[in-house]
Amino acid sequence: MLASELITRFESFAPLKLKWHDDPTGLQIGDPNQPIHKVLVTLDVRPEVVDEAIKVGADMIFAHHPVMFRPAANLDYQDPQKAMYAKIAAHHLLVYAAHTNLDCAEGGMNDWLAQALGLQQVSGLVPGYHAAAVKLTVTVPAAQAEAVQEYLIKTWQAKVDRYALNSGEQFSVDLLQDNLSAAIQGIQALLPTTDWDYQAEPLLTGGHQYSMGRIGNLAQPMTVQAFAEQCKQVFGVGGLRLVSATPQQLIQRVAVLGGDGGKFYHQALQQGAQVYVTGDVYYHTAHDMLAAGLSIVDPGHHVESICKAQLTTLFTQWASDHDWPLEIVASQLNTDPFTFI
């Protein structure tokens, strides 16, 4: 199979339009039209991970963190980072990064973290891409009406209003603007003639809001200190940073955002969070959080390595569903640069 098949399927799960502005998400190195047989899933692309990919015989590296956060001014191989690019190219490895689009995707990174923490009644934390809604009105011949209605309900999980006309039957359905073109193509494929018509009208309400981070409730209240200890166990870290003026306070409402999320603490406060779980919290930001009465659990950026097991499972299922001749393996390396001593 071609790498583009996996990329296309993944981008239907976590579309690139979900990514944060200027985030270098997507194809990093290589040709998406090259055949692939084995994919190595990793959090980071580091020299040791590239060596691992070569050792296991992978021809594609699928990472969460981009290997190229900034454009390279040159390819001086005395620089270890640029030497790594050369090795990737020399071994014909394709590198793809799913960064903030995976963070915002439903069923993606931040849902995995929320699930690991046992959060309930989960909702989005930081608003990102908003998918606008449209009302699609379709007039079709009576003979094809049942097939069209079944298609709209099953494929788009839509509530369909149906009306009988002298010239056929008419359907009205609310869809996301992003799905409009595909829905029209699907209807066209059901009709043996061009004897049908449609209109699409933008809606001022509805649509769908995607978000970075999640917020929800613990099943039972616990102290900030106990929750921090639980985070150590859940994420398998040797240590973490607790920022709290009230470690014995009972808490239940928790916000989580994988990676560097300190700048979003105001959104956590606005939604009633008592504790915010995120990485890379800066010194002065921590002071501001304390002053605002918010407790912080910083287990580090590396907790996003949860993606390795989750993506491996997801890709393996897709390979089975589509009969892809593809093996998915998770990197066995720990790329966390920090050690607690």
Of the candidates 103, 47, 116, 117, the residue with the CA atom closest to the CA atom of residue 261: 103
β-sheet with 94-97: strand ranges across: 26-29, 94-97, 60-63, 38-42, 327-330
Q: How confident is the model at residue 287, as a pLDDT?
A: 98
Q: What is the pLDDT of residue 118?
A: 98
Buried b (16+ CB within 10 A) or exposed e, 81-99: eeebbeebeeeebbbbbbb
What integer pLDDT is reported at residue 71 of this predicted model?
83
Q: In which band, very low, low, confident or very high, does the pLDDT at 39 lie, cut at 50, 70 and 90?
A: very high
Looking at residue 234, what is its pLDDT? 97
Starting at the edge strand found earlier in the chain, the sheet holding 168-176 runs: 160-165, 168-176, 133-140, 197-202
pLDDT of residue 69: 86
Give CATH superfamily name and number for 120-127+211-299: NIF3 (NGG1p interacting factor 3)-like (3.40.1390.30)
Model confidence at 70: pLDDT above 90: no
- CA pair distance 63, 19, nearest whole angstrom: 15
pLDDT value, residue 229:
98
Tokens representing 302? Answer: 């590396």
Query: Quick one: fold of 133-202?
Result: Alpha-Beta Plaits (3.30.70)
pLDDT band, residue 60 (cuts 50/70/90): very high
Pair 161, 135: CB distance under 8 Å: no
- What does the CA dihedral 284, 285, 287, 293 come to, rounded to 10 degrees? 170
* Segments making up each domain of the chain, as ranges: 3-103+305-330, 120-127+211-299, 133-202
Judged against a pLDDT cut of 90, whether residue 324 lies above it is answered with yes
Question: Taken in order 205, 210, 213, 215, is the CA torsion positive or negative?
Answer: positive
The yes-or-no answer to whether 3-103+305-330 and 120-127+211-299 have a common fold is yes
Label residue 158 by pLDDT band (50, 70, 90).
confident
pLDDT tens readout for residues 163-201: 999 889 999 999 999 999 999 999 999 987 778 999 999
Task: Report the pLDDT averaged over residues 85-91.
Answer: 97
Overall average pLDDT of the 81-85 stretch: 95
Return the pLDDT at 235: 97
Determine the average pLDDT of the residues in 288-302. 98
From 2.40.50.140, 3.40.1390.30, 3.40.50.2000, 3.40.50.9100, which CATH number describes the 3-103+305-330 domain? 3.40.1390.30
- Provide the mean pLDDT of the chain: 96
- Reported as a pLDDT band with limits 50, 70 and 90, residue 268 is very high
Q: What is the pTM of this model?
A: 0.91
Residue 11 neighbours by CB under 8 Å, 6+ apart: 101
| Predicted pLDDT of residue 216 | 98
pLDDT > 70 in the chain, percent: 100
> Quick one: which of 146, 108, 138 has its CA closest to 201?
138
Q: What is the pLDDT of residue 166?
A: 87
Strands 60-63 and 94-97: parallel
